[in-house]
């Protein structure tokens, strides 16, 4: 290793950090800074790829320093997930305009999230068949083998569990453990725990309004503080995106990506079709889909680059309430539920595509009606409890593949293109949550159509 090469790489990275800081000082919009970071990261990563080999020790040491920014940013996003989900759900209860609408709102939001995930699964199946994708076509190297072994280890805990047992795993036996995120289903468990407290608050509100008002002030104060923490973390997004993209591109195996190019294209075709479904749903609800596209673009841009549905939650809620006319309670519900229930990209399109690709390797015809309907049902039910930061798609794939008795290890064949596909999946996840919020608000008569139709654009 040549220490001077490492120092040069670090200095070059710091210069790019300085460029982003300069743009921030010049009040360049958040979206433009994120896109600039994305572009600089790709170019810088390509430069490193051209100068060094992927296994070069100089590059490895340089990446370690870049990880202080990239991995540090991801850890901060993970830090805020549980507090954010918990307080957002509680805040949704305290901000409900009419508490008697609670049941209808919850059913509508969850129904839309799960229903659209079933549609996403059908789209994933059709796209995979249309592109004639099969897992047997993919070459398996050392990285893919190692990834497959990891997936088999994770699936071991799920083997032998019946559906009732899997549903029980969603419940928060120890909410304090779930706040640590130690279980794969911790996010949905925290949502359920917060919902119980919210329902209790509504009961107290009827019988002891003074105590409920005091509790509401506490929740509002905590919500304000948590959102302030979130704002501080989100300001680091351009720098995190720069570091993550630099590392991703510099260490990517482009030959492997080219070999999987057809799967990447098929995945984005399916994701785009699913986004069009969201627009059709809005149209059927009597809303202008072009207005929706214009106003949510900054939010989806952030979701795309950060690959974090949870990190996007504050922007999600803010855009729904300030620019799409959704009531605060419904926006908090749809945004928070969307982190762990019915993610259209991660829990819908992705596991369905994997199942159809893998089925022929064990002698199953994926075109039989029984397989298709079973797969769609399994995907929809398994979409409960998908985490909103990293690993959600993997967990969903393990659940679906193990339930369908398909080899989980073969999912590891796609490791080289995971980050690339995950960007699009996350954006579709967030769009699904926002769509459910807008349609639910319209159905309950709480949508401010003047705000929705207004010309003001969302700013991240």
Q: Which CATH superfamily does the domain covering 3-453 fall into?
A: Sodium:dicarboxylate symporter (1.10.3860.10)
125 pLDDT above the threshold of 90: yes
State CA 311 to chain mean position distance.
9
Per-residue pLDDT at 459: 47
- Does residue 191 contact residue 433 with C-beta atoms inside 8 Å? no
Query: In this predicted structure, what is the pLDDT of residue 93?
Result: 85
For residue 162, the model assigns a pLDDT of: 64
Ordered by start, the domain boundaries in the chain are 3-453
Question: 429: number of CA atoms within 13 Å, CB side?
Answer: 39
> What is d(CA 412, CA 256) in angstroms, rounded to the nearest whole number?
13
Distance CA 161, CA 158 (A): 6
Contact between 31 and 41 under an 8 Å Cβ cutoff? The reply is no
Model confidence pLDDT, tens digit, residues 205-243: 888 989 999 999 999 999 889 888 888 888 888 898 899
| Interacting residues of 113 by C-beta distance below 8 A, sequence separation 6+ | 334, 337, 338, 341, 342, 383, 432, 433, 436
Inter-CA distances, 1 with 12, 49, 246, Å: 18, 17, 20
Q: Which of 97, 105, 84, 115 is nearest to 438 (CA)?
A: 105
Q: What pTM was estimated for this model as a whole?
A: 0.81
> Which of 20-24, 104-108, 146-150, 449-453 is predicted least confidently?
146-150
Please check whether residue 105 is in contact with residue 416, taking contact to mean a CB–CB distance below 8 angstroms: no
Asked if 135 and 358 count as a contact pair (C-beta separation under 8 A), the reply is yes
% of the chain at pLDDT higher than 70: 86
- 40 pLDDT above the threshold of 80: yes
């Amino acid at each position: 290793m040549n220490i001077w090469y490492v120092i040069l790489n670090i200095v070059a990275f710091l210069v790019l950090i300085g460029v982003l800081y300069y743009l921030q000082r010049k009040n360049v919009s958040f979206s433009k800074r994120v896109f600039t970071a994305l572009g600089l990261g790709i170019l810088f990563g390509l430069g490193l790829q051209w100068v060094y080999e992927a296994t070069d020790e100089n590059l490895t040491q340089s990446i370690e320093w870049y990880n202080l920014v990239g991995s540090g940013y991801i850890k901060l996003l993970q830090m805020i997930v549980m507090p954010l989900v918990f307080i957002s759900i509680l805040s949704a209860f305290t901000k409900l305009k009419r508490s008697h609408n609670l049941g209808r709102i919850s059913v509508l939001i969850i129904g839309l999230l799960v229903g659209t995930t079933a549609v996403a699964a059908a789209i994933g199946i059709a796209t995979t068949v249309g592109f004639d994708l099969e897992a047997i076509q993919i070459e398996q190297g050392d990285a893919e083998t190692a990834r497959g072994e990891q997936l088999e280890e994770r699936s071991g805990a799920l083997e032998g569990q019946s559906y009732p047992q899997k549903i029980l795993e969603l419940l928060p036996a120890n909410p304090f453990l779930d706040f640590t995120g130690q279980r794969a289903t911790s996010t949905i468990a925290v949502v359920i725990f917060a919902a119980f407290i919210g329902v209790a608050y509504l009961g107290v509100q009827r019988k002891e309004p003074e105590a409920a008002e005091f509790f509401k002030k506490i929740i509002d104060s905590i919500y304000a503080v948590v959102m302030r923490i979130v704002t501080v973390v989100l300001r680091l997004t351009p720098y995190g995106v720069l570091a993550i993209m630099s590392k991703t591109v510099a260490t990517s195996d482009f030959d492997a990506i080219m070999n999987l190019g057809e799967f990447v294209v098929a995945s984005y075709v399916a994701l785009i079709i699913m986004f069009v479904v969201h627009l059709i749903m809005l149209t059927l609800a009597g809303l202008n889909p072009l207005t929706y596209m214009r106003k949510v673009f900054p939010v989806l841009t952030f979701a795309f680059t950060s690959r974090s549905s949870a990190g996007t939650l504050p922007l999600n809620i803010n855009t729904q309430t300030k620019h799409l006319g959704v009531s605060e309670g419904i926006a908090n519900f749809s945004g928070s539920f969307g982190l762990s229930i019915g993610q259209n990209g991660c829990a819908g399109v992705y596991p369905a595509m994997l199942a159809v690709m893998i089925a022929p390797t064990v002698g199953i015809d994926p075109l039989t009606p029984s397989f298709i309907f079973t797969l769609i049902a399994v995907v929809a039910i398994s979409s409960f409890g998908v985490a909103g930061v990293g690993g959600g798609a993997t967990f969903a794939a393990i659940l679906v593949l193990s339930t369908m008795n398909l080899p989980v290890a073969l999912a590891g064949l796609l490791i080289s293109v995971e980050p690339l596909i995950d960007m699009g999946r996350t954006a579709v996840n967030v769009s699904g949550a926002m769509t459910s919020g807008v349609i639910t608000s319209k159905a309950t008569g709480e949508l401010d159509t003047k705000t929705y139709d207004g010309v003001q654009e969302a700013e991240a």
